[in-house]
Amino acid sequence: MADHGQVQVKRIALLQEAYGRQLELVSDSGMEESYRIAAEFELGGERYAALQTAAMKKNDELAFFRITGAEGELELESIEDEDEWELAAEGYDELMFEEMGLE
């Protein structure tokens, strides 16, 4: 398990508190899709969301986004950098392991 330089993963709930467990996101093509919030967490000073559509759940896939903005003006940004995406994915895994008592 990567230690992220001793950076702690901390669960947060900004999106859930503002929008509930489901989000409607509009893709670049203009299609609206419903995502379940699998987790929100803070890692290394950044905030991330792990989201999942029904189709993604069938394939055990997640989409990771960076959460920006302040309460009331939260936004999701796509993670373009492969290293940052991996860091977010590892942070999610670490959070899940910790919560299951496997860490």
Task: Please name the amino acid found at residue 66.
Answer: R
Whether the Cβ atoms of residue 12 and residue 29 lie closer than 8 Å to each other: no
Confidence at 72, pLDDT banded by 50, 70, 90: confident
pTM of the complete model beyond 0.75: yes
pLDDT at residue number 70: 84
Closest CA to 92 of 12, 9, 23, 4: 9
Report the number of distinct structural domains present in the chain: 1
- Domain that includes residue 90, residue range: 4-99
Q: Give the separation between CA 85 and CA 83, rounded to whole angstroms.
A: 5
What are the structure tokens assigned to 74, written together?
A: 């939260």
